[in-house]
Structure 1
């Protein structure tokens, strides 16, 4: 039946719908910062991985390690709803090739070549002892979840190193590898050959010397997005992204996404989820077990919805759970709130992080209330009745610049820490309005000069009776 169905749809779907499954899946809720389990209850080991949609199924490939962190297998699971994962195969194992018997295999990604009708896996290979090999490697299979045949490992053109990597297939079928080169200093984009099993040419090296790794490349509305992390070993750091209208560039400078540790995770992949209501984009990250005193197989998964304030900007908000409807193509954050708009009494405008920026030091101002995540705030208790006020779009804190105690000091967002210049008390002023008083200075959050205009700056000022120091908390 499979072969008859595949032939029937080959001309329409360019031979990519190789497995026909259920027509749709019911909405599900997944919980973040957990170890996912498969349909037998066993832990899903697909770390540093990627997802390929084939027919009705999403196939998730990733790292499965031995207790000493060396390579055991590239394992593959499948699901229709992105929650209920069926283990399918150890697609590549230590016995697949002699050079895999003692090795490290990281960041496996699989794409389909509609000309050769092969599924092609690329990965980062090391010798199992250190990170001096820094080679790319390739394996191929006739079926998406079959046994992959080892093709070998090699360095990119000019002999540069290849470490963290991902794959991307463009609309015209051209395939690319994006990999950390020059001992992680550069992030290079290579076009692959027609078979997708080797290099054709280097097409871009947009961020030389910036030490980026964990790349994820996706395309939305004609815009290419590159999402990556910095290099800090197993410890999480600030993810950043850039955009371009051509994969060869020019690319923009990197901009921050999410909070300072990307909620304790590192990018592995961005998955488009297309359905009847449109396409959503899902951030897939690992919270590495090594950063918590364990091993790779102790790692947890952090999956979050990417949102797009404009066609060339993204936000990466935190939610403890996600509701995913693959049939509709919708992804919704669940929990973590309540979230508030902070609305100035004198102007009726919302406390807003300028331009949806996730950067440290981004200006906080007032702006007409528009429902954006950069106007939503959640409160986290500290001590003594004080709270941190956290921007939902960035996960960063409302902060008095440089911990100044002076009138007129700028209020901005900054990565959350233990400073009292990020701690605020809500003093009841009656009728549902509050003054926000900074713990370090005893001064009030204030709209400068009592401006009623969009863009009026937020500062701290000696507390008084002005309505430009009074805010209501409107639950989102």
Structure 2
């Protein structure tokens, strides 16, 4: 009994520490706006290292999880170092919370150097009171033909996360690629993903504990094959998806879909992006040079969502950038116009 009490007290105390640390504004000047595609520094003035990730909100604090890239290594040379986390009270100023998962285990284990762990997503399970992390996992020395989903969990949002196991999604012996984890209003968690091989887009229901799929995956009728980098939200009873095409590390045109049911039929709503990124001169045909990975819900504001994109630089992934833009709604369609600089006042 005392061990359980200690663990709960530890989580509470850590939460208080994070809250005080994140909300303190006396130690350094704070930023007041988001500047898409520009170098984003944390509170210690170091480049944020959290690529392909997600942002969740818990007890007044946002947590940004993403791939930690090792400086000086390329994607070919296995730049993945694990999963990094940052915390913020305003979505603009971020404080380093350290590594949540490290790829430093012996070569006989899954999470060893030269494996690849991509696109981490974290979901809170109210029933188990645990945070569950998912990431695309390619095992060391096995290439990219078979893609697993790695699963880790933690009692607190700032970790540490303990690796549990891996599974093959999509009812396929080769697993699934890019994915989104979507929690519906009733707490049911769904795994949207592109199935290997063939790249059909599918969805499967997860168990109540979120640790494994439950039953068969179904093809999402209406979602174009080779749809990657999905992000899913629900608004006014309809499901909305932001995604990309399939072109490796190179950017392509974004795509979007909407549906009245998780399983479809999904309706294509075209490319939601508009405008030009002045830093690289790229517009909608290349999604400003980025690729989607998540849509953030902004707490305390109505219909306030932020689309997260990554600018991938496979030769120098440590230098990969971020594009965050406010999402606008036109019925069940989304629009994501370029903005050189913006803040949360963009949401009324």
Q: Given the two structures, how large is their TM-score scaled by the length of structure 1?
A: 0.61
Note the aligned Cα RMSD (angstroms). Answer: 2.8
- Match of residue 159, structure 2, among 136, 140, 146: 146
Residues 172 and 196, structure 2, Cα contact 8 Å, conserved in 1: no
Partner of 2:133: 121
Shift of 1:207: 4.5
Higher mean Cα deviation, 191-200 or 158-167?
158-167
| Distance in 1 between residues matched to 2:223 and 2:322, nearest whole Å | 30
2:204 is equivalent to residue 181 of structure 1: no
CA distance in 1, matches of 2:322, 2:234: 23
Distance 1:24 1:251 in 2: 45
Partner of 2:4: none
- Residue 63 of structure 1 contacts residue 73 of structure 1 at CA under 8 Å; is this kept in 2? yes
8 Å contact from structure 1 (residues 28, 81) kept in 2? no
Q: Deviations over 1:30-78 (max 9, x none)?
A: 2111221111111111110001101111100000123143220200001
How far does residue 315 in structure 1 lie from its aligned partner after superposition?
Answer: 1.1
* Cα distance in 2 between the residues matched to 1:17 and 1:225: 35
Equivalent position SS for 1:52: strand
Instruction: Indicate the structure whose relative CO is greater, using CA pairs within 8 Å and at least 6 residues apart.
Output: 2
The answer to whether structure 1 residue 61 and structure 2 residue 85 are counterparts is no
Query: How many angstroms does 1:27 deviate by?
Result: 8.8
Where does residue 269 of structure 1 map in the other structure?
294
Off by >4 Å, runs of 4+ in structure 1: 16-27
Q: 1:78 to 1:189 in 2, by over 3 A?
A: same
Find the partner of 2:308 among 284, 289, 305: 284
Give 1:229's aligned residue: 244
Partner of 2:324: 303
State the structure with more CA Rg: 1
Report SS of the residue matched to 1:151. Answer: strand
Deviation, 1:28, is 2.4
Q: What is the aligned counterpart of 1:86 among 84, 95, 101?
A: 95
CA contact (8 A) 1:23 1:56 kept: no
TM-fit CA distance, 1:295: 2.2
2:68–2:83 Cα contact (<8 Å) kept:
yes
Give per-residue Cα distances to partners, 1:188-216, cap 9 Å, x unaligned: 11110111010013244324762110000
Separation (CA, whole Å) in 1 of partners of 2:17 and 2:152? 19
The one of 253, 269, 272 aligned to 1:238: 253
Distance across 1 between alignment mates of 2:42 and 2:341: 18
TM norm structure 2: 0.83
Q: Which residue of 1 aligns with 2:37?
A: 33
Instruction: Give the secondary-structure state (helix, strand or coil) at the position aligned to 1:75.
Output: strand
Q: Is the 8 A contact 1:180 1:188 kept in 2?
A: yes
> Where does residue 137 of structure 1 map in the other structure?
150
Matched, 1:75 2:84: yes
Q: Between Structure 1 and Structure 2, how many residues are aligned?
A: 314
The CA distance in 1 between the partners of 2:198 and 2:307, in whole Å, is: 22
3-state secondary structure, aligned to 1:262: helix
Q: Greater strand percent: which structure?
A: 1
1:27–1:324 contact (8 Å) kept in structure 2: no
Offset of residue 133 of structure 1: 2.3
- Structure 1's 142 and 303: CA in aligned 2 closer, same or farther, altered over 3 A? same
User: Counterpart in 1 of 2:277?
Assistant: none
1:209 to 1:269, Cα distance in 2 relative to 1, 3 A: closer
